[in-house]
Structure formats: C-alpha cells, structure tokens
Structure 1
C-alpha cells in the first residue's frame, strides 16, 4: 500500500508507474500487455491511432478540476477522436510529466480517473511513460480498431444533400468553464467542462448507418463543421431552431450577467468547443442513429462556408496554436 502523502520525488519512478498501471488486467488478444518495454497488440482489421496532450495552465487548472477528473478528461478527449473515425477504442497509453512535489495521492486519483474512463470506453491501459516537469502534462495515445472490410469514416466525404447530425448538447463545456472561472464550482455544466461524456458506440453506429463524414466537436461546432466542409469541398447550412439546447444554459448566461442571454447561449453552442460530441453527415434515405440530432444540410458552395439560418457566420472556437478567438 503506497503512502499517499509521499511526493513523486520521494517515491521514485517505479512506484509512480506501479500506481498508474493499476490492477493487472486481462490483455485479451494482446501477446504482451502493460509492464514490459512495450505492449504487443493483437491482430486487427485496421488500427486507428490518435494522441493529444493536456498542459496545466493551457488546457486545465488544478484549482477548478481534480486529479481524477483530469485523468478522465484526458482519456475521453482522445477516445472521441477514435470514435470519430467510426471505430471503437480498445487501448490507451499514458505519458505523464509532473513536478517533484506532486503527491502519490494525486497520482492515485489521476490513475483512478484514467482507468475508469478507459473502462467506460471499453479500453485497456497498456503502458506509458513518466518524466519530471515544472507543470503537469498528461499525454494520451488512444488506439482503436475497425472490423474487417470496413473503411474509416473520414472528414472529407460530405456531399451536397447530406443531412448534418450532432450527438450531445453543444456549449455545455464553454458555459461550465465560464461558471468555474466566476467561482461557481458545482453543477452539471461545470462537470461537463471537467469531464466530457463521449458518445461510446456512436461512431460505429454512424459508420454502419452509412455516414459520409464524421468528426468530433473539440474546437467548436462552427469551426469543426467548417473544417469538415472545407475538406469535403462543400458548404454547410445550420438550422438554428434545430440546435439542441441544454436547459441550464440560459440560467448560466443570466447568472453571469449577460445582457443578451440568447446571444451568449448561441455563442457557447456554436463556438465553445470541448464538448467532444460527434458531428456527421448522412445521405438522404438512410436511417440516422437516434443519438444524432439533425441540425442542418450540406450543399454545393464555397468550400468551408457555414451559414446559420442562411447568414454566413465566421467560426470562433479554439485554435491550438493561437488559443480561443
């Protein structure tokens, strides 16, 4: 039993890695699981791989999120990228950098979040790396698989006439962050920012339904839709009345003193980002999976142009090099 008051510097690398590794797990078809120099993965029809980092001060603040939620969020946002290829996530790798004064209790809580979210996603944690740094950095590599004979659902396949579908409720993470920064620490919107709920199984469902393109909403609904449309060489029209609205968004805008509540809510929904729902396009005549809400149509036009109720709207959202705009 590790002393949770001991710091990472006092415990040493092996002890930290033992905590991050979690309980021994059935490695399934993998010849080598966690604990060796590298994991050896079993056969798959096609392998989907993505990686992403969370950097303290840029992507999260430990005064508004706890270590367990940080672990869950780091896994969830990578899993969503696997789902957006029409695949299922099967394995997780963790790269962690922490200051030496980080306690083993913090590491245990982080590990609990990582393994809990991996399990929710149907994935195993199969390895990782550890180093020391001035701030906390959590890097996740998520690996998924596609069935034999099935192609991934790419970003560039949308066609004129396709319907645009979205899972989840956009704007919750952005509103939750605004509430947290205002000192309002508890509530469903705040938790939506701390830990996005990825739509497990929805990517595969979209693929089976015949989706022509698919992406996850990480940088903002408008920005991600514009990227999808640009890659596909099409334009996109959103129906403002069809956008699904979380019932707490209006109250959040009022609590934060918005002078135009509807405009504030719409800004969160269109440009907020980090909700990690799935955004896909579906041809006419196919049965769209029920978890997708139809919010617009694809049409021929200037590649990447997005209109809201017929009016062009320039995306805001998150740019990884520039930050929010």
Structure 2
C-alpha cells in the first residue's frame, strides 16, 4: 500500500514554480511515481518498460479518462482532488466486479506550462486515493497536450474460486439494493456552477467516496449482479436490467435522499426543492455507489439500502412505484440528458 505521507514529503521537494517543459519527462514521472517502488511482491515494479504483476487467481482490469472541459474544470476542482477523483472512479469499477483494487497505472497529458507544483498536488491526490483503496501506483505515461487529460487503469483481483459479479445476473424476484447516497455529486456541481464554492455536496462532486469493501461484501452475501452508479441511478439500473432481460420497479419512499439535496435545491431557487432533489437522486450520476441485486432470501450486507424489486417484463424498463420514467443521466457519447 502506498504511503500518502511519504508521497507528500516526496512531492514537497520539487520546485513548484518550474514548468513541465522546463524540467522534462523524467522529473515529472519521478513525482507521479512517488518516493520509491512499493513492496507489492510483483516481479517488476514501477520504473521499467512495463510492470510485471504477481500471480493472481483472476485479474480485474478497467480504465477510464478525465478530460478537461468535458469531465472537470480546473477553476472548480483543484489538482489534488482531480488526482483523487481519477483514481476513485476507476476503483469503483473494480469494486463493482466484487473484487478489491490492488494496483493503479496513470497516463497524463498536460500543457507545457503546467507547473511542478500542480504535478505534485496531482500526485499527492493519486497516491492518497490509491492508498485509501488498498492499491499502489505501479506505472504510467506522460505526454504534452493542449488540455489536461488523466487516464487511470485500475487492476484488482478475485480470490480462488470467486466468480465476478456481472451486470447480467439479475433474476425476477431479486431485491435491488444501493450503497451510498446518490445525487450528491450532481447537486454539488449545480452549486459550484452557481457560484457556491464550498460545502459537502461540492466536495462530493470533486471527489466521490468509493465504497471500499462493499463489492466484496455483496459477493460474499450472495449478490447475483452488481454495477457502479456512474451515469445516473436510472440509467445504470436500466442497463443492468436490460443485460439481465428483466424489468425493475423502484420504491420512491425507499430511496436514500440526503436532506442536503433539498437544501441545495432551495438555495438554487428551485420551485419544488423535493422534486429537484429526487431528480438528482435518479439522474445525477458520478456518485459511484454500488447497485446490486440479491435473491429474495438474502439480506443485503450493511451499507446497502433496498430500493426496489426485479420482475419479469420488458428488458431494461424501470418504473417508479409502477409508473414509467425515462432515464436521464450521462451518456459518454452524447453528454448529459
């Protein structure tokens, strides 16, 4: 596991005003890599042409990018939070397979005028979030670009005999359960865009808190399917239901609605704060909670809230108390709906 304190000490040694173009690739990669090669037990660690990982029963791999102007704005998100967020959203995908994250690779594109202080802050966020997730940074890449792009590959493992939790395993009669409180990120972004820079919702948008351990808990409890909520609760649930060939009905009163959402809606002048809060819960996205289905005889583990049931019906159709609703949320090709 990487040591955030050691990383902070290491990044504190850099000339924070020097630019990436002035110091060169090797110096930037040295900061991003951290204070030294972590003792992972891998045959080859950070610093070679490629990392060589130790043997695993089953390996889980995912990758995702954050692009300036599309996924974040540097006037709303600091460099350390950007590093944390880039790692967190990838770790969430590993957890959603019922696995634990162990290693992270980072590919970075930045303008030539990016300062080493900004790189050091980014590295501190990357290593800090990796450590919170039980992972270490084992490599990466750097290039020059007009915009900042942070690409992370997260790697996890499943123990011997464990099956990955897929999105196509839901069956009629299953309960639907959710971890976390959806809508916080969307509400936080709305507050940021309206000129309210600080608060718990704003920080939820900058850095989602991934449910470390809950993917494994769901697998051990007997979950039949699992996914993370990144594009919106309804959109991700509809995708799970479509892959499983089932329909889902959600119970509105069972949804975990953070009271801060209605307060934010009122601050922003919503005509119906409660309705706006529900919209954020259903379509907000980027909260990275876990969405699971369990056989009816299985009690979801602590950290999950039962929010609905699976039934035979039109694949992918999600209803609210029996009434249809078209999913909004985020489509990577189209943007927000």
CA distance in 2, matches of 1:288, 1:260: 33
User: Shift in Å at residue 155 of structure 1?
Assistant: 0.4
Question: Out of 96, 113, 126, which is 1:114 matched to?
Answer: 126
In structure 2, the residue matched to 1:79 is 91
User: Shift in Å at residue 25 of structure 1?
Assistant: 4.0
CA distance in 2, matches of 1:170, 1:190: 13
In structure 2, the residue matched to 1:56 is 68
The aligned runs of 1:48-197 (5 Å cut-off) are 48-197=60-209
Q: Does 1:256 align with 2:268?
A: yes
The superposition leaves residues 144-180 of structure 1 with CA deviations (integer Å, 9 ceiling, x where unpaired) of 0000001100000000000000000010000000000
Q: How many residues align?
A: 325
In structure 1, the residue matched to 2:51 is 39
CA distance in 2, matches of 1:136, 1:185: 21
What TM-score do you get using the length of structure 2 for normalisation?
Answer: 0.96
CA distance in 2, matches of 1:286, 1:257: 42
CA distance in 2, matches of 1:234, 1:25: 47
The answer to whether the 8 A contact 2:14-2:120 is kept is: no
| Partner SS, residue 38 of structure 2 | coil
The answer to whether the 8 A contact 1:89-1:144 is kept is: yes
Q: What are the ranges of 5 or more consecutive residues in structure 2 without an aligned counterpart?
A: 1-12
Question: Out of 243, 249, 254, which is 1:242 matched to?
Answer: 254
The superposition leaves residues 56-89 of structure 1 with CA deviations (integer Å, 9 ceiling, x where unpaired) of 0000000000000000000000000000000000
User: Shift in Å at residue 260 of structure 1?
Assistant: 1.4
In structure 1, the residue matched to 2:4 is none
| Partner SS, residue 182 of structure 2 | coil
Q: Does 1:218 align with 2:230?
A: yes
CA distance in 1, matches of 2:238, 2:117: 43
Q: What are the ranges of 5 or more consecutive residues in structure 1 without an aligned counterpart?
A: none
CA distance in 2, matches of 1:287, 1:28: 35
The answer to whether the 8 A contact 2:96-2:165 is kept is: yes
In structure 1, the residue matched to 2:10 is none
The superposition leaves residues 120-147 of structure 1 with CA deviations (integer Å, 9 ceiling, x where unpaired) of 0000100000000000000000000000
User: Shift in Å at residue 24 of structure 1?
Assistant: 1.5
In structure 2, the residue matched to 1:289 is 301
The answer to whether the 8 A contact 1:236-1:305 is kept is: yes
User: Shift in Å at residue 198 of structure 1?
Assistant: 0.2
The answer to whether the 8 A contact 1:27-1:124 is kept is: no
The answer to whether the 8 A contact 2:60-2:156 is kept is: yes
User: Shift in Å at residue 282 of structure 1?
Assistant: 0.4
User: Shift in Å at residue 284 of structure 1?
Assistant: 1.3
In structure 2, the residue matched to 1:320 is 332
What TM-score do you get using the length of structure 1 for normalisation?
Answer: 0.99
User: Shift in Å at residue 26 of structure 1?
Assistant: 2.9
User: Shift in Å at residue 323 of structure 1?
Assistant: 0.0
